[in-house]
């Protein structure tokens, strides 16, 4: 059986040819982090086949092997928004839709591989106390009686990636509890719900997510329909599970939003006719935030709780966001406000500005001025803009899943958010451009895991996002020693969100250069 190793930063397809079969590969790694590779074979299975894997000399290295599974890219990303014709994006997308690629992955179960082209994703976790220098381990695969051996040489560098509880870089991917209930046929708060949620929380922790956004409180109404309080039962359950699992912070769910982007008012999410600046809006928000305050005190969350208010406040409704912020601060004194925003006119209204990549670069001077005042900035990507701009979608090169975190460090931003963790379609492996109000999100934008009866499956893109978070930590260490060299390495692969290397091997070379600089 022939095998060929590929970089973790390159897409593999069921029809990818073996151009240079080899029994060896060399990798570079930091201590306390991961380095990954992909392995393609010349075997294609018509049915399930017996499988085994063995490792030699894997001391201080914890290997995990996943079988790569194909998913369908059913539409191409649009030139500017959502999806669109291939002719408009052919200069930068990888292929014309529809096509299959390897993104989902599962650990082989019961000694069997699923049918199809035999391809694998290999994750190597390097112990924090692993000796610096060259390490050699070996992998032997057996598929249906045929065997192949891969010798892996790992150059373990001096750099040490901090554990999650000491992370300097924050990350959040929104878990949609309603989607979990739909995907797995469970009731919120049930024992089966807890089991499924715990699997997703474990996955998020492995991705280096530091923050988890909670479900919003549910309104409680009297016999006349008047809101008299809020129920935070589900938020309490999810919050305690997240902190017990290892998240550094939990974030209370949104409470309001505008109707149209240029509407000056924000309206309560549970009563869309009530504006936050009205007397009734204040009455209900008082009830809501008083309930949040009691929730925080009852659970001892004072030092690990943040509050979100509005998803993407815009320039025209900045003043009403300030009003909402002041109401929140009255009842939740000392609790940081952390929101995805699209306005520079929110001075003093929040502690963490999480800004869409396109908005940040459009108003770069204004956001930089805010950072100079000490404001904390994160960046985020979402369903649009589409086009070439970096976003972890399935028809852009994999570098677009990893390099946003490099730009976070270039811009002095300390965290990254993506909305689409588990917002899959009803046919998650074949419909990856998820329907959205009569249109379609770019392929893969709405999800980064794949639901199965066994639980969520990792994706290649999720591993690349985790790798980007680790890269930020390494780049930050080099910034402390040699800022000019750190910026030079970043700019060798990305200058802004639309000007970046689309070749994953360039990222491998830049990361090696980063590790070698830290060795000094």
Phi, psi dihedrals of residue 26, rounded to the nearest 5°: -120, 140
Cα separation, 247 vs 520, whole angstroms: 33
Q: Does an H or E element contain 402, and which?
A: helix 399-402
The predicted pLDDT at position 383 comes to 81
Consecutive H or E run containing 296: helix 279-299
Assigned domain for 62 exists = yes
Average pLDDT, the chain: 97
Domain membership flag for residue 139:
yes
How many domains does one find in the chain?
1
- Cβ distance 62 to 122 under 8 Å? no
> Tokens 């100079």 correspond to what residue?
372
Residue 34: partners with Cβ closer than 8 Å, 6 or more residues away: 123, 124, 125, 126, 463, 466, 467, 470
Cβ atoms 213, 174 nearer than 8 A:
yes
Does some domain include residue 140?
Answer: yes
Torsion on CA atoms 185, 189, 193, 197, rounded to nearest 10: 130
pLDDT digits (tens, 9 = 90+) for 214-228: 999 999 999 999 999
Tell me which residue of 408, 516, 422 sits closest to 470, measured CA to CA. Answer: 408
- Tell me whether residue 58 is in a domain: yes
**Residues 384, 358: Cα–Cα separation, whole Å:** 9
Number of DSSP helices (H) and strands (E) in the chain, helices first = 12, 29
Domain range spanning residue 37? 3-160
130's tokens = 């692993």
Q: Are 396 and 92 in contact (CB under 8 A)?
A: yes
CATH number for position 104:
2.60.40.10
Asked if residue 44 belongs to a domain, the reply is yes
Distance separating alpha carbons of residues 199 and 454, to the nearest angstrom: 9
Question: Is the omega angle on the peptide bond into residue 98 within 30 degrees of 0, that is, cis?
Answer: yes
Q: Which residue(s) pair with 116 in the sheet? A: 45
User: pLDDT digit string (tens) for 453-470?
Assistant: 989 999 999 999 999 999
Q: At what angle do helices 279-299 and 233-245 cross, to 10 degrees?
A: 40
Could you tell me if residue 474 is inside a domain?
Answer: no
Strand, coil or helix: 132 = coil
User: How far apart are alpha carbons 301 and 122 in whole angstroms?
Assistant: 38
Q: Which residues of the chain have pLDDT under 70?
A: none
- Residue 100, CB-side half-sphere exposure with 13 Å CA sphere: 14
**203 is a domain residue:** no
For residues 479 and 453, give the distance between their C-alpha atoms in angstroms, rounded to a whole number: 44
The verdict on residue 384 lying in a domain is no
**Rounded-to-integer distance, Cα 69 and Cα 67, Å:** 6
């Amino acid at each position: 059986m022939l095998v060929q190793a590929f970089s973790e930063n390159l897409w593999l397809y069921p029809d990818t040819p073996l151009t240079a079969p080899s029994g060896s590969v060399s990798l570079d790694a930091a201590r306390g982090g991961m380095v990954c590779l992909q392995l393609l074979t010349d075997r294609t299975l018509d049915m399930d086949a017996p499988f085994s894997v063995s490792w030699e000399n894997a001391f201080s290295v914890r290997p995990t092997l996943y079988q790569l599974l194909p998913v369908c890219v059913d539409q191409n990303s649009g030139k500017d928004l959502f999806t669109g014709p291939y002719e408009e994006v052919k200069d930068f997308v990888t292929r014309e839709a529809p096509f299959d690629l390897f993104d989902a992955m599962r650990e082989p179960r019961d000694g069997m591989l699923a049918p199809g082209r035999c391809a694998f994703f290999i994750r190597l976790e390097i112990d924090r106390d692993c000796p610096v220098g060259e390490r050699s381990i070996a992998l032997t695969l057996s598929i249906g009686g045929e065997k192949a051996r891969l010798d892996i040489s790992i150059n373990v560098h001096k750099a040490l990636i901090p554990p999650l509880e000491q992370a300097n870089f924050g990350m959040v991917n929104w878990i949609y509890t309603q989607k979990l209930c739909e995907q797995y046929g469970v009731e919120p708060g049930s024992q089966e719900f807890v089991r499924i949620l715990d699997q997703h929380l474990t996955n998020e922790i492995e991705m280096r997510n530091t923050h988890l956004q909670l479900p919003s409180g549910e309104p409680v109404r009297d016999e006349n329909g008047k809101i008299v309080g809020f129920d935070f039962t589900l938020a309490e359950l999810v919050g305690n599970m997240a902190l017990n699992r290892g998240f550094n912070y939990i974030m209370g769910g949104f409470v309001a939003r505008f109707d149209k982007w240029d509407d000056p008012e924000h309206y309560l999410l549970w009563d869309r006719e009530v504006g936050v600046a009205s007397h009734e809006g204040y009455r209900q928000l008082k009830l809501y935030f008083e309930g949040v305050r009691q929730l925080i005190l009852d659970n001892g969350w004072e030092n690990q709780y943040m509050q979100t208010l509005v998803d993407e406040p815009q320039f025209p409704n900045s003043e009403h966001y300030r009003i909402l912020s002041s109401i929140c601060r009255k009842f939740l004194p000392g609790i940081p406000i952390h929101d995805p925003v699209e306005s520079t006119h929110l001075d003093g209204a929040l502690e963490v500005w999480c800004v869409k990549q396109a908005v940040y670069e459009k108003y770069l001077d204004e956001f930089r001025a805010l950072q100079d005042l000490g404001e904390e900035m994160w960046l985020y990507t979402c369903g649009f803009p589409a086009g070439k701009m970096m976003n972890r979608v399935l028809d852009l090169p994999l570098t677009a899943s990893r390099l946003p975190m490099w730009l976070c460090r270039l811009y002095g931003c300390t965290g990254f958010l993506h909305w689409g963790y588990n917002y899959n379609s009803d046919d998650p492996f074949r419909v990856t451009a998820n329907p959205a109000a009569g249109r379609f999100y770019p392929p893969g934008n709405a999800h980064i895991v794949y639901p199965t009866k066994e639980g969520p499956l990792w994706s290649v893109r999720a591993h690349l996002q985790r790798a980007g978070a680790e890269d930020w930590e390494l780049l930050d260490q080099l910034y402390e020693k040699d800022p000019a060299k750190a910026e030079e390495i970043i700019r060798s692969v990305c200058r802004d969100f639309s000007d970046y290397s689309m070749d994953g091997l360039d990222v491998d070379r830049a990361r090696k250069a980063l590790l070698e600089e830290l060795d000094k």
